[in-house]
């Protein structure tokens, strides 16, 4: 079953408004979560690494004031797109690293994604 | 650079085998992964391989790894229409970040 829950799955908003996307880890604690952005027919672009209890680490070229990340608990990270513009329209996906008991390597599990459309 | 390369498209007939190729960049990657993405959805982990292995088989999936050439492939046996999706390979870079390939769009013809 799903280990990472993301919602909403789709959101349409007016230009200038803010949109919050939630990413929850189910049945495990995630000290680190990742936020990706995906343009149509393209690969995933890492936007930022969300760290529980501390500031997020943003990739080069990603505006931290535009894309606010909060990781206040071990099971929840949120991405807020502030003052959204049409060019922010995209597919946003969160993920979390998990090392399951008895396994030797970590695996990255993804949320189902959020399609943001800014009018 | 950090580009993990894949061919963009692959089209196969139902029942045939599909082979999706990937050229990665970091020879120190410990694990390499294959993910599947269906339209409008997140990525689903399909399988992975440890870097000291040459091959891993998991039901219809076979992963081949050529470390010398930094080449990874995913073979899907008896391809079904439900296998139509985008497939991404991924490595973990030296900076402990996942680097995803460009994605291969697999289309299965009935």
Strands in chain B per DSSP E? 5-6, 9-13, 18-23, 31-37, 43-50, 55-58, 61-66, 71-76, 85-92, 98-100, 104-109
Radius of gyration, alpha carbons of chain A: 14
Cβ-based neighbour number of residue A3 at 10 Å = 19
Mutation for B interface: A108, A109, A116, most B CBs within 10 A = A108
pLDDT one-digit tens code per residue, B26-84 = 878 888 999 999 988 889 999 999 988 999 999 999 999 999 999 999 999 999 999 99
Per-residue pLDDT of chain A (119 residues; tens, 9 = 90+): 568 999 999 999 999 999 999 999 988 888 889 999 998 888 899 999 998 888 899 999 999 999 999 988 888 999 999 999 999 999 999 998 877 777 777 788 899 999 999 99
Q: Which residues on chain A are in Cβ contact (under 8 Å) with B100? A: 43-44
The shortest CB-CB distance from B103 to any of A43, A93, A107 is to A43
- Inter-chain CB proximity B30 and A105 less than 8 Å: yes
Query: Can you give the pLDDT at residue B20?
Result: 98
Long-range pairs of B44-52 with CB within 8 A, sequence gap ≥ 24: B44/A110, B45/A107, B45/A108, B45/A109, B45/A110, B46/B74, B46/B87, B47/B74, B48/A105, B48/A107, B50/A105
Question: CB contact, 8 Å: A110 with chain B?
Answer: yes
Helix or strand or coil: residue B82? helix
């Amino acid at each position: 079953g799903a280990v990472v829950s993301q919602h909403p799955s789709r959101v349409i908003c007016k230009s200038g408004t803010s949109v919050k996307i939630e990413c929850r880890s189910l049945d495990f604690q995630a000290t680190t979560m990742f936020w990706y952005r995906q343009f149509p027919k393209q690969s995933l672009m890492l936007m930022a690494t969300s760290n529980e209890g501390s500031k997020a680490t943003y990739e080069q070229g990603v505006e931290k004031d535009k894309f606010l990340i909060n990781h206040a608990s071990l099971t929840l990270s949120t991405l807020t797109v502030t003052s959204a513009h049409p060019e922010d329209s995209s597919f946003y996906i969160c993920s979390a690293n998990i090392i399951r008991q008895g396994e030797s390597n970590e695996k990255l599990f993804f949320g189902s994604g959020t399609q943001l459309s800014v009018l | 650079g950090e580009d993990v390369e894949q061919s963009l498209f692959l089209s196969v007939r139902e029942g045939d085998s599909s082979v999706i190729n990937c050229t990665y960049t970091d020879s120190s990657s410990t694990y390499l992964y294959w993910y599947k993405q269906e339209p409008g959805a997140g990525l689903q982990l399909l399988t992975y391989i440890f870097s000291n292995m040459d091959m891993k088989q998991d039901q219809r999936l076979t992963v081949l790894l050529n470390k010398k050439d930094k080449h990874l492939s995913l073979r899907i046996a008896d391809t079904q229409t439900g296998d139509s999706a985008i497939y991404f390979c991924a490595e973990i870079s030296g900076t402990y970040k996942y680097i995803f390939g460009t994605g291969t769009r697999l289309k299965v013809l009935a």
